Amino acid sequence: MEIQEKILKLKKQKNAVILAHFYQTSDIQDIADFVEDSLGLSQKASTTKADIIVFAGVHFMAETAKIINPQKKVLIPDINAVCSLADSCKITDLKKYKEKYPDHKVISYINCSAEVKTLSDVICTSSNAVKIVNSFSKNQKLIFAPDKNLGAYVNKITGRNMVLWNGECKVHDLLSTESILTIKLDNPDAKIIAHPECKAIVLEMADFIGSTAAMLAFVKKDSAKRFIIATETGIIHQMKKIAPEKEFIIVSKDKTCSCNDCEYMKMNTMEKLYDCLLKETPEIKLPLEIIVKARIPLQKMLDLSNIEKNK
């Protein structure tokens, strides 16, 4: 029996759901019940009827699913699939940082640990960051953590002056203007689209800036036939699915490959996915106190997102 069949059989037997991020390998994306960005996956996790959630992503994503569903078993194929951005912001450091700005509210990007979420007033994703920031009055002083690039982009869009935590996603922050210019010179007809976790100088070159979900929507509807993609390689699989007639060129992280892989996202494999579903481990476990505290800003984000969706 093929591994895909084994996974599907186990999933049915155990009433499990597989959630996968766009940055997972193509085979994992194809077997998942839902493939979404962080906001979409959070929304799916909040409404699932499954007994077991298998989260094919990185650690903070699986933690988020556990916070939303404390009564459910949440599994992750590789417990070591962490996140460079989340790791850049420790709870002890953020506590000290907050003390410098006692009159500031904290907006935390979802790419942070469960502990950091407990110190936050609201969570955001790259899909809804502008809406979340704009939900605060103009007079309210804000701290944005942990992604300085996304924070700077949102400051520019909203006209705010949020205090930015000094963290970044290595996958996006390492992308250079030189790489993009080289590709653009060879492909002058291609439009540049970029994730807002990229540096400001990269974003200035882009024809479109958006979350992974927004990027997918853009390439589907836009009239251009070729696109230069400044984000993680995994998104290309979905782009080819929704727009097979178009061409997508990934901005490489270096000259040795034509890829921009997140080493942590790619730690999950089909074999590990099957094994974790079979043995029901590694399991995400969090203290109840953290779940209760972290759920408040997460639920606020979900509520604000639902309000916008239903308008």
Q: 235: domain CATH number?
A: 3.40.50.10800
Residues 20 and 77 in one domain: yes
Say how many C-beta atoms besides its own lie within 10 A of residue 21's C-beta: 27
Residues 161 and 175 in one domain: no
Residue 306 has pLDDT above 90, yes or no: no
Q: 109 with 95: CB under 8 angstroms?
A: no
Residues 302 and 157 in one domain: yes
Report yes or no on 256 lying in a domain. no
The torsion angles phi and psi of 286, rounded to 5 degrees, stand at: -135, 145
Residues 58 and 128 in one domain: no
Q: What's the pLDDT band for 96 if we cut at 50, 70, 90?
A: very high
Strand-pair partners of 293 = none
For position 107, what pLDDT does the model report? Answer: 98
For position 311, what pLDDT does the model report? Answer: 39
Report yes or no on 289 lying in a domain. no
Q: Is 185 helix (H, G, I), strand (E, B) or coil?
A: helix
Residues 102 and 66 in one domain: no
Residues 126 and 96 in one domain: yes
Residue 89 has pLDDT above 70, yes or no: yes
Rounded to an integer, the average pLDDT of 179-207 is 96
Smallest CA-to-CA distance from 33 within 15, 13, 19, 46 is with 19
Residues 164 and 179 in one domain: no
Say how many C-beta atoms besides its own lie within 10 A of residue 258's C-beta: 10
Residues 7 and 72 in one domain: yes
Contact residues for 180 (Cβ-Cβ < 8 A; gap 6+): 192, 202, 205, 228, 230, 251
- Across 84-119, b (16+ Cβ under 10 Å) vs e yields bbbbbbebeebeebbeeeeebbbbbbbbbbbbbbbb
Report the C-alpha gap between 227 and 120 in whole angstroms: 36
**Enclosing H/E stretch for 163:** strand 163-164
Contact residues for 1 (Cβ-Cβ < 8 A; gap 6+): 9
| Domain extent at residue 25 | 3-83+265-284
Q: Can you read off the two tokens belonging to residue 29? A: 């994306």
Residues 241 and 185 in one domain: yes
Instruction: Name the percent of the chain lying above pLDDT 70.
Output: 97
Report yes or no on 39 lying in a domain. yes
Report yes or no on 259 lying in a domain. no
Residues 38 and 73 in one domain: yes
Q: What's the pLDDT band for 305 if we cut at 50, 70, 90?
A: confident
Q: 196 with 211: CB under 8 angstroms?
A: yes
Q: What's the pLDDT band for 255 if we cut at 50, 70, 90?
A: low
Residues 107 and 92 in one domain: yes
Q: How many domains does the chain have?
A: 3
Rounded to an integer, the average pLDDT of 250-269 is 86
Residue 1 has pLDDT above 90, yes or no: no
For position 253, what pLDDT does the model report? Answer: 75
Burial of 247 per CB tally in 10 Å (0-12, 13-18, 19+): middle
Report the C-alpha gap between 190 and 210 in whole angstroms: 17
Q: Can you read off the two tokens belonging to residue 191? A: 């439009």
For position 39, what pLDDT does the model report? Answer: 85
Residues 201 and 242 in one domain: yes
Report yes or no on 257 lying in a domain. no
